[in-house]
Structure 1
C-alpha cells in the first residue's frame, strides 16, 4: 500500500473513535484515481463532522497528529489547513459539515471511512467545477488571442510580470481548453479544476509546444509569436486581432 493511503487509513482508524466525525474522504490523487499517487504527490482529504464539531477540527491538529507528529502547519482558510508530517508526508485538508458539501466544488472523491449512520452519497455531493461561461471553441480561441493582445501591451508598458501571466499562462490555459474540445484523443485524466495537470502526458510537444509557448519571463514576444502561430495553424483566426497582435510584436520599444 502506498504510504499516503496507509496514512489515510491510520487517520480514519483514529477518527472512527471520535463520536463527532461522520466520514473521511480522499480527494485529488487520494480519491478515486489513487493509482496516480507517487513520491511527488501531496495528500488531500476532507473530514466530514457534525455541525458543532467543526470549529474544534479546524482550530486544533490533535486529531491529525494521531498517526504521526506534525512538524509544520498553517490555516489556509476558515475550513482547513496545510501540514507537513515529520516523516515528510505533506497534506492539505478541509473540514466540512454534511450541509456544506454540496456547496464545495470537488470531483472523484473516495470514501476512506464513514460512520454507519452517515449518508451514503457523501463522495458524490460535490458541486460541479465552475468553468468559463462559454466553453466553446469560439470563446477559448478569442480569449487566447485577446490574452496575447493585452499581454503585449503590458509588456510594452514595462509591466513584464503581468504580461508573462497573460501570454504564458492565461493564453495557454485557453489553448489547453481548445485541445480538450477538438482533440481526437482527449485527455484521459483531465483535472476538471486544474486543466494544466498532467497535460504533458496527454499532448506531446509536437501537438502542444509548451517549451516555446512558455519560455520564461524575458521572452514574452517569442511566446506570443509561437502561440499566435499555433492558433492560426489550427483555427480560423480573425485577421483584425491577428494583425493587431503582429503590430505589437513589431513595435521596437
Structure 2
C-alpha cells in the first residue's frame, strides 16, 4: 500500500475511536483516482464531524498527530490547515459538518471511513464547481486575444510581472479551454478545479507548445507572438484585434 493511503487508513482508525467524527474522505490523488499517487503527491482529505465538534477539530491537531507527529502546520482556510508530518508527508485538509459538506464543490472523492450511522453518498460530488460564465469557443478565443492585448500594453508600461500573468498565464488558460472544447482526444483525468493539471500528459508539445507559450518573465513578447500564431492557425481570429496585437509586438521596446 502507498504510504499516503496507509496514513489515511491510520487516521481513519483513530477517528473511528472518537465519538464526534462521522467520515473521512480522500480527495485528489488520494480519492477515487488513487492509482496516480506518486512520490510527489500531497495528501488531500475532508474530515466530516458532528456540528458541535468542528471547533475542536480546527483548534487542535491532536487527532491529526495520532498516526505520526506533525512537524509544521498553519491554518490556510477557515475550514482547515496545511501540515507536514515528521516523516515528510504533506497534507491539506478541511473539516466540515454534514450540512456544510452538501454545499462544498468537490470531485472524485473516496470514502476512506464512515461511521455506521453516517448517511450514504458522502463521496458524491457535492455542488458542481463553478465554470466560466461562458464556456464557448468564441468566449475563450476572444478572452485569450484580449489577455494578449492588455498584457502587451502592461509590458510596454514596464509592468512586466502583471504582463507575464496576462500573457503567459491567463491567455494560456484560455488556450487549454479551447483544446478541451475542440480536441478530438478526451482529457479523461482533467481537473475541474485546476485545468492546468496534467495537460502535459493530455497534449503533446506539437499540440500545446507550452515551452514557447510560457518562456518566462523576460520573454512576454515572444510568448504573445507564439500564442497569437497558435490561435490564428486554428481559429477564425478577428483581424482588428490581431492587427492591434501585432502592432504592439512590433512597436518600441
Q: What TM-score, normalized to structure 2? A: 0.99
Cα distance in structure 2, aligned partners of 1:149 and 1:21: 52
CA offset at residue 232 of structure 1? 0.3
Count matched residues: 253
Cα distance in structure 2, aligned partners of 1:234 and 1:210: 16
User: Which residue pairs with 2:72 in the alignment?
Assistant: 72
Q: Does 1:252 align with 2:235?
A: no
Shift of the 125–198 alpha-carbon distance from structure 1 to 2, 3 Å rule, reads closer
Cα distance in structure 1, aligned partners of 2:107 and 2:232: 34
Contact 1:76/1:82 (CA < 8 Å) preserved in 2? yes
Contact 1:221/1:249 (CA < 8 Å) preserved in 2? yes
Cα distance in structure 2, aligned partners of 1:77 and 1:94: 8
Contact 2:109/2:125 (CA < 8 Å) preserved in 1? no
User: Which residue pairs with 2:49 in the alignment?
Assistant: 49
User: Which residue pairs with 2:9 in the alignment?
Assistant: 9
CA offset at residue 102 of structure 1? 2.1
User: Which residue pairs with 1:224 in the alignment?
Assistant: 224
Q: Deviations over 1:112-160 (max 9, x none)?
A: 0000010111111521111101100000000000000000000001100
User: Which residue pairs with 2:238 in the alignment?
Assistant: 238
Cα distance in structure 2, aligned partners of 1:103 and 1:76: 19
Contact 1:179/1:186 (CA < 8 Å) preserved in 2? no
User: Which residue pairs with 2:30 in the alignment?
Assistant: 30
Cα distance in structure 1, aligned partners of 2:211 and 2:102: 39
Cα distance in structure 2, aligned partners of 1:114 and 1:125: 16
CA offset at residue 64 of structure 1? 0.2
User: Which residue pairs with 1:154 in the alignment?
Assistant: 154
Matches within 5 A, 1:132-143: 132-143=132-143
Cα distance in structure 1, aligned partners of 2:178 and 2:125: 29
Matches within 5 A, 1:165-180: 165-180=165-180
CA offset at residue 5 of structure 1? 0.2
Matches within 5 A, 1:76-225: 76-225=76-225
Q: Flag as ranges the 4+ runs of structure 1 deviating above 2 A.
A: none
Any unmatched runs of 5+ in structure 2?
A: none
Cα distance in structure 1, aligned partners of 2:106 and 2:89: 22
Contact 2:129/2:192 (CA < 8 Å) preserved in 1? yes
Contact 2:151/2:166 (CA < 8 Å) preserved in 1? yes
Cα distance in structure 1, aligned partners of 2:108 and 2:158: 43
Any unmatched runs of 5+ in structure 1?
A: none
Q: Secondary structure at the match of 1:25?
A: strand
Q: Secondary structure at the match of 1:99?
A: helix
User: Which residue pairs with 2:61 in the alignment?
Assistant: 61
Contact 1:46/1:95 (CA < 8 Å) preserved in 2? yes
Cα distance in structure 1, aligned partners of 2:130 and 2:244: 31
Q: CA RMSD in A?
A: 0.6
Cα distance in structure 2, aligned partners of 1:125 and 1:153: 41
